[in-house]
Amino acid sequence: MSSAIFEEYLGKVIAKVKSKQAHSMIKKELSNHLEELSHSFQKRGLSIEDANKKAIQEMGDPSTVGKNMNQLHKPRMDWLLIALFILLAGIGFLPLMSDVVSPNSFFIKKQIVWLALAILALIGFLFFDYRKLKNLWMYFYAAALILFFISFFVGTRLIGGGIWLSFGGIMINGPAICLYLFLIAWAGIFTKVTDFKGWKKLVGLLILFWLPVIFYIILSQFVFSIIYFLCVLVMYIFYYRRNQFAIKVALGNLLVGVIFISTMILKFFSSYLSDNLISVKAVLSQAGWFGKGLHNNLTIPEAHTDFVFPFLVYSFGWVFGIFLCLLLLVFILRISLNAFKTKDLFGRLLTIGGAVLFTVPAFWNILMGLGIVPIMVVPLPFISYGGSMLLVYAALLGLILNVYRRKDIVESTLVN
C-alpha cells in the first residue's frame, strides 16, 4: 500500500504532466516502481520509513521526473499520414480539371464542399476518446443493419452503382457507411469475445459475421462484401494468431467466403461499363513514361471515379502511376505499422481493420484499371470523385489518427 510520502511525491510528478488521461497510468506505473524499490531496501535491513525515503531518492527529483513523463506520455500526431491524405486528395482534383467531366467548375466546387466536410469528419473523429466506442458495439452493428434495410426499401438503384439514399437532394451511399459501422462493431466484439461462451453464443457470433456478407450481396455490393469479409477476418486472425484451432476456423471461413462470393459475382455480376469499355490495356500501352497531358482525347467511362487510375496513367505516364502506387503503399504501410504502436487492444483492432478497409479498394481499383480483376464500382481512396466514400475514408483516417494520438496515454489492454 502506498505511503503518504509516496502520494506526495507522485502528486508533484503528476502536476508536471499535461495529459490528464495519462495521470492514472503514470501514477500506477511509478507507484509500483517505488514499492519495488522500497521492498528491496527493506530486505537490506532498512526500516519501512527509511526504505521509502531511499526509494524516492533513487527515483530522483519529482519535477524532473514529471517533465520526462510529460514528454513520454503526451498526445502524438502522425503528420506523415495527414500529409499523404492532403496529397492524395489533391491528386483527386486532376481529372476534374480535364475534359472528362463537364462543366468542370461544377464538379470541382462540389468536390471542394465534400472535401471540407471530410476534413471536418476527420477532425471530429480525431479529438474524442475512441475507447468510449468499445462498449457500444451492439448499437453500431444495429445501426448498420437498419441502414441496410433503409437502403433496400427506400434506396435509389443506380445502374451499376449500387443503392443510394437521398437526403434533401444529397446522395449518400448507405452500404459504404455500413463498412465503417461494422469496423467499430467488430473491434468492440473482439474485445468482448470472452463473453461469447457456449455453442449457442458462438453460433450467434457466426451469424453476426455472415449476415452483412449476405446483405451486401443482396444489394449487389460485391466489392463491399469482400472488403467487409476480409476486414473482419484479418481482425479475427490477429486476435487469435496464437490459437491453431482458431486459425483453422479462419481459413475455413476464408475458403467458404471465396467460393460463395466468387459464385455470386460470376452468377449475378453485370457491369454497366462492360458494353462501352475500351481496352484498358490498350490505353495503358499508349501512355508512355510521361503521358499525353491532362487535356487529351481519351474517352474512357468514369475516368474521374472507377477508372481514375488508368486516366491518370494515360495523362501523366507510368512515372506518375508508379509514384501514385508508392504513395498508396506508404499510406497503407504507415497505418499497418501504427497498429502495433498502441498498447490498447481495441485501438489496435480498429487500426488493423482500418488498414484493410483502405487496402482492398485501393488494390482492387488499381488492378481493375489494369484489366486484371472484374470491373466493379470501387473508388480509389481519396482520389476518386464522390462524397460518401470520401467521408467514410476521412472518418476512418480520423479514427486511426485518434488511436495513434493516444498511444502513449492509454494503459495496455492487450491479451497475451
Within a 10 A sphere around the Cβ of 126, how many other Cβ atoms?
A: 21
Q: What is the H or E stretch that residue 165 is in?
A: strand 162-167
Q: What does the pLDDT look like over 60-115, one tens digit per residue?
A: 888 887 788 777 778 888 999 999 999 999 999 988 888 777 777 888 888 899 99
Q: Are the C-beta atoms of 334 and 81 separated by less than 8 Å?
A: yes
Task: Say yes or no to pLDDT of 199 above 80.
Answer: no
Residue with cell 481529372: 95
Q: What does the pLDDT look like over 225-274, one tens digit per residue?
A: 889 988 998 888 887 766 565 566 666 666 666 666 666 555 554 444 44
Distance CA 76, CA 352 (A): 19
Order of all β-strands in the sheet with 156-158: 156-158, 162-167, 170-172
Distance from first CA to last CA of the chain, Å, rounded?
Answer: 27
Which of 5-19, 33-47, 310-324 holds the top average pLDDT? 310-324
Give the burial string for 367-396 (b: 16+ CB within 10 Å, else e).
ebbeeeeebbbbbbbbbbbbbbbbbbbbbb
Indicate the pairing of strand 162-167 with strand 170-172.
antiparallel
Q: Are the C-beta atoms of 147 and 177 separated by less than 8 Å?
A: yes
Q: What is the mean pLDDT of residues 376-401?
A: 90
Amino acid at 58: E
The three-state secondary structure class of 170 is strand
The per-residue pLDDT for 182 is: 95
Q: What is the mean pLDDT of residues 368-383?
A: 84
Q: What is the mean pLDDT of residues 198-224?
A: 83
Give the burial string for 8-24 (b: 16+ CB within 10 Å, else e).
ebbeebbeebebeebbe
The per-residue pLDDT for 275 is: 41
Q: What is the H or E stretch that residue 86 is in?
A: helix 79-91
Task: Say yes or no to pLDDT of 353 above 80.
Answer: yes
Task: Say yes or no to pLDDT of 164 above 70.
Answer: yes
Q: What is the H or E stretch that residue 126 is in?
A: helix 104-126
